[in-house]
Structure 1
Amino acid sequence: MLSRILIFFMFVLVLIKSENNPSYSVRIYSNQAEIIYLLDKLPLEFTDDEWNEIRSDSITLLSDNIHITSQTISEKRKSLNGAKIYIRSPISLDKSTLIFVQGILIDEHNYLVKIQDESIAGQQTLFFSVPPDHIFYLEQPPKSKFYVNFTYDTTDSQVHVTYLRSNLKWHTQYQLNLYENNSTLIAMANIRNDGKSPISIDHAELIGGDVNLNTRSRETVAYFTTTTMTTTTATTMAKTTTIEQGTELFGLYVFTINQPFTIDAKTNYLLPMFHPHVTVERYGLISKYFQTTSNTGYAQRSYRLRSDRYLSRGNCIIRESDRIVGETFLPNLGAKDKYHFSIGQDTDIFYKENVSLISSTKLEENHQHETQTIHTSTRKLSIYEINIQIKNFKTRSITIEYEQTFLYSFQNIQLIMLNNHSFIQDGETIKSNMILQNNDDQTFSYRIERTHH
């Protein structure tokens, strides 16, 4: 039965068992989970706590051939009207000793009660409304239950229920350990149960990739009705359970968990995933926007990471020689893709940029419109020389990557090369790479021709 269900849905399934419910499956995404189980009877019933975690607009029925003709959602709660209660007596309001009078709740919404007490009104029956905090119940007030009903046509022997819940989710977290000659990336799956009860999982497959799911429906269900019936956080680290290498599925990735495990309520459960082979390049990044005035600053401590396999997005703590040096957030990263990131300034790499205006010329342009009117516009052609001095105070050599971006789209930029170093133009950005030896101090120069209004 279970294998047929898995094949039928062709997706990421997690088998959950409980003593009071039939076995059902869950597709775990980064911000919620989809519950799937075989339909037993209608209407579907949910407690108030369960309903708070469910997206009502996601509840539906699935099969190979089904036509849903109607769906209703209703809230029902056992009425307290007619229940025996105790009321704080008015004669005890100004006294330290509480006096209670027995009564019957007539209207629970307006707190209308009926009492017959000789000490208050002789043999007469009194009806009056009391403050809600003066009513004491003999039993716990009932909570609402929510019912979902369908009418449908199908020729299939099995129909499945599916809906989204927000209490179960997962994400990846990383530790990037860097040494002089090698780098290791450790990936962990952090599965979170925000619910109020534990979840036992026999088999799991987690979905990694760009899945756009809203956590809540933005609109109230139009056919929602209300009726009345008379009737701590802990973190667990698994020692034996592991997650297999991910496999690609229609642009997403599936990670299989090979052992059963249980997640307690309000608990994070961490499982080791894969250890990809990664290469990491370190460099100092000088990235800035063009200014017509001279300026100074420091390079950024930057890295370029590439993995031999897909990496799902997640926070990454970075260590250099076992010491934490920063953290970054890795996006969904395909195999062999490069990811560039910076984690702070490197005060050992100082730069000073001098900008000089070499010449400035006004250009007049004539534009003839369809009406034969000639319009003259003026543009300015300016040539700047940029000299950037870079000092490496380290006791080792360092690679520097320099990029200067020109912000305004209405200007035209043209690089003019000088002889002392190679710069390239990439759209509106001027770039160059250079290597500085230990305690090195070098100056690099180029010119740009800037045409603007």
Structure 2
Amino acid sequence: MKSFLLFCLLAVDTLSINALLYDRKKPVSTGDLRVLTTAKIYSNLAEIIQPLGKLPLEFSTEDWNDIRADSVTLVGSNLTITQQTITEKKKSLNNAQVYVRAPSSSNAKTEFVKATIVDEKRNLVKIIDKDITKEPIFFTAQSDHIVYENEPPQTKYYVNFTYDTTDAVYLSYLRSNLNWKTRYQLNLFEETKPVTLISMADIRNDGESKIDIENAELLGGDINLQMHGQHRFQYSQMTYQTVSFDAASGPAGPAGSQNKLSVGQGEEVAGLYVFTINQPFSIEAKTNHLLPMFRPRVTVERYNSISKYFIVAGNSSGKGERSYRLVSDRFLSGGNCVIREFDRLVGETTLPDLAAKNKHDFSIGQDADIVYKENVGLISTFSSNISTSIYGARQTRTQSTYDINLTLKNYKKNRSAKVEYQQQFAGQTVKLFKPNPVFTQDGSTVKATLTLAADEEKSVTYKIEVVN
């Protein structure tokens, strides 16, 4: 008997699971705005594309608050929209029967009487209070003094279209409660071990309800899309080119299976990068859903940077910055990056959108072991008047020559350090005196790269001419 019961339970479970899988493959109607057929997700919003349901389309206030009104449109093959209307509607409460606190009520004794709403905007009600008069009286009630017999009707929004086409038609709109960003973790070890950069797609549902997504793309790059339109959308005769929509693949399998949910490598489209998610998935309300992305091959050069602006002659000192130069073999979408060295958190930074093989330098904090002292000595200065091409005016130019002595000290007892120094000068012209085996000039910036052995101190000097 027990075996028979167990067989029956297994059969019911199997039928239930098959039914769920079958339902996932049914066409999605816009009657349920929490089931998204195609979602193209950006950093601040998402474009939703769904088969067009029965017109007019009905949106609750909750859904409409997340939708950019002027983005609601139709797309399809050779489609011409001839008219569109967006209407806000709410069933009136006028003449509805409610209960209100009687005017004769006191703080000690509260009494509610039956009333009729005359003007819901002003909360104007009509009652008969026998303690006052036998005739109906009118007064404006406080909102919290009104008790409803039934739940008050909510505002709803209706979108309607007239259009001409012979092919399938899809609804498209932007919504703000679905977005994504990239999260990175950069792991650094000894120089002989490869660097690893782990990337995760962080998809956020800010809405109040669960969202089921059949087909999704994540878009990265500099995208100028805003949630709020600059003007009201006005429709005239419009024709749309062919738009194709790939059918969603089957439901995701258990962890470790071949159907494991993941994000694709990314393809360049019109200066942006598109990452495709290979399976349908769901995101609960107020939830961050993290998915593994590609694992790029990266190289990272570690160094200490000293970057400063030249101000006046005199002495200055400071510490080097712990800096990194990162190069990836593929496009990286912008996002927050946490850095670990030798299995310890050492800082974080924000990576920009970074093209493949393009170098990105960043610093995450000072290195107390790398100290510099700089002494600037004024050698000579003189001024002269020159004529300009502007109305024959004469201007004064001051030419100054400086000797700059830089002393670097590596206080690390068992490790060498690479230091990259640069100082930027402000002037009409800047000239580095040569020959100088250590320093080079790049525009108005003087640069040098030095390697300090453990516990080594090194002094170097250069001469510069600045004309202001």
Normalised by the size of structure 1, how large is the TM-score?
0.86
Q: Deviations over 1:27-54 (max 9, x none)?
A: 1111110111222333222110111101
Q: Judge conservation of contact 2:28–2:50 (CA < 8 Å) in 1.
A: no
Number of equivalenced pairs:
415
Structure 1 residue aligned with 2:458: 442
The reply to whether residue 87 of structure 1 matches residue 100 of structure 2 is: yes
Q: Secondary structure at the match of 1:87?
A: strand
Q: Which runs of 5+ in 2 are unaligned?
A: 1-26, 236-254
Distance change >3 Å, CA 83–CA 366, structure 1 → 2 = closer
The reply to whether residue 377 of structure 1 matches residue 395 of structure 2 is: yes
Structure 2 residue aligned with 1:387: 405
Distance change >3 Å, CA 203–CA 24, structure 1 → 2 = closer
1:181-200 correspondence to structure 2 within 5 Å: 181=192, 182-200=194-212
2:344 counterpart (314, 323, 335): 323
Structure 1 residue aligned with 2:176: 166
Shift of 1:333: 0.9
Q: Secondary structure at the match of 2:63?
A: helix
Shift of 1:344: 0.6
1:71 counterpart (74, 79, 84): 84
Which amino acid letter does the alignment assign opposite residue 452 of structure 2? L
Q: Deviations over 1:378-400 (max 9, x none)?
A: 32221111110000111211111
Q: Percent identity?
A: 51
Shift of 1:368: 7.7
User: How many angstroms apart in 2 are the aligned matches of 1:324 and 1:389?
Assistant: 31
Across the aligned residues of Structure 1 and Structure 2, the Cα RMSD in angstroms comes to 2.3
1:37-436 correspondence to structure 2 within 5 Å: 37-95=50-108, 97-122=109-134, 124-152=135-163, 154-180=164-190, 181=192, 182-219=194-231, 240-292=260-312, 293-366=314-387, 376-394=394-412, 395-408=414-427, 411-417=428-434, 419=436, 421-436=437-452
User: How many angstroms apart in 1 are the aligned matches of 2:397 and 2:195?
Assistant: 53
Q: Deviations over 1:210-231 (max 9, x none)?
A: 21111222446799xxxxxxxx
The reply to whether residue 36 of structure 1 matches residue 36 of structure 2 is: no
Q: Deviations over 1:356-375 (max 9, x none)?
A: 111112333345888xxx65
Q: Judge conservation of contact 2:36–2:214 (CA < 8 Å) in 1.
A: no
Q: Judge conservation of contact 1:16–1:199 (CA < 8 Å) in 2.
A: no
Distance change >3 Å, CA 116–CA 91, structure 1 → 2 = closer
Q: Judge conservation of contact 2:38–2:215 (CA < 8 Å) in 1.
A: no
Structure 1 residue aligned with 2:250: none
Structure 1 residue aligned with 2:40: 27
User: How many angstroms apart in 1 are the aligned matches of 2:327 and 2:280?
Assistant: 33
Shift of 1:448: 0.8
Larger mean CA deviation between 392-401 and 66-75 belongs to: 66-75
Distance change >3 Å, CA 157–CA 88, structure 1 → 2 = same
User: How many angstroms apart in 2 are the aligned matches of 1:104 and 1:343?
Assistant: 67
User: How many angstroms apart in 1 are the aligned matches of 2:271 and 2:452?
Assistant: 42
Shift of 1:120: 4.2
User: How many angstroms apart in 1 are the aligned matches of 2:389 and 2:65?
Assistant: 67
Q: Judge conservation of contact 1:418–1:446 (CA < 8 Å) in 2.
A: no
Which amino acid letter does the alignment assign opposite residue 77 of structure 1? K
Structure 2 residue aligned with 1:234: none
Q: Judge conservation of contact 2:39–2:213 (CA < 8 Å) in 1.
A: no
Distance change >3 Å, CA 375–CA 171, structure 1 → 2 = closer
Normalised by the size of structure 2, how large is the TM-score?
0.83
Larger mean CA deviation between 15-24 and 438-447 belongs to: 15-24
Q: Deviations over 1:16-72 (max 9, x none)?
A: 789846763211111110111222333222110111101111111222323333332
